[in-house]
Amino acid sequence: MYGDQVNVIGVAGRDDLRDMQEFVSERGVSGFDHVADEENEIWATFGVTSQPAFVFINDDGSVETVVSSLGLDGLTDRVEALSAA
């Protein structure tokens, strides 16, 4: 729906690679790219301390980190705002 306007990248951390791959497979979230952040460097860069967390990066480079659950409606609202920018 927003694939041509918004890029989604899953960043898995705090586990070994096999467990991260298993999580993606079991949860059915393989429809977008995923990165294994085995050293938690990406998480640290964006201030992510726990899951669930979302980092929204706008075209102008502004960053918003949300360390909490957003639910479907909250996530949809954020994605729509990004696609409108």
pLDDT tens digits for range 17-74: 898 899 889 988 888 899 989 888 999 999 998 889 999 998 899 999 999 999 999 9
The H or E element that residue 69 is part of is: none
Predicted local confidence at residue 12, as pLDDT: 86
In this predicted structure, the answer to whether residue 1 has a pLDDT above a threshold of 80 is no
CA–CA separation, 45 vs 11, rounded Å? 12
CA–CA separation, 16 vs 38, rounded Å? 7
Residues 39-48: tens digit of each pLDDT: 889 999 999 9
Domains of the chain: 9-84 (3.40.30.10)
* Sign of the alpha-carbon torsion through 21, 48, 78, 62: negative
Q: What is the pTM of this model?
A: 0.81
Beta carbons within 8 Å of 66's beta carbon, 6+ residues apart: 53, 54, 55, 56, 78
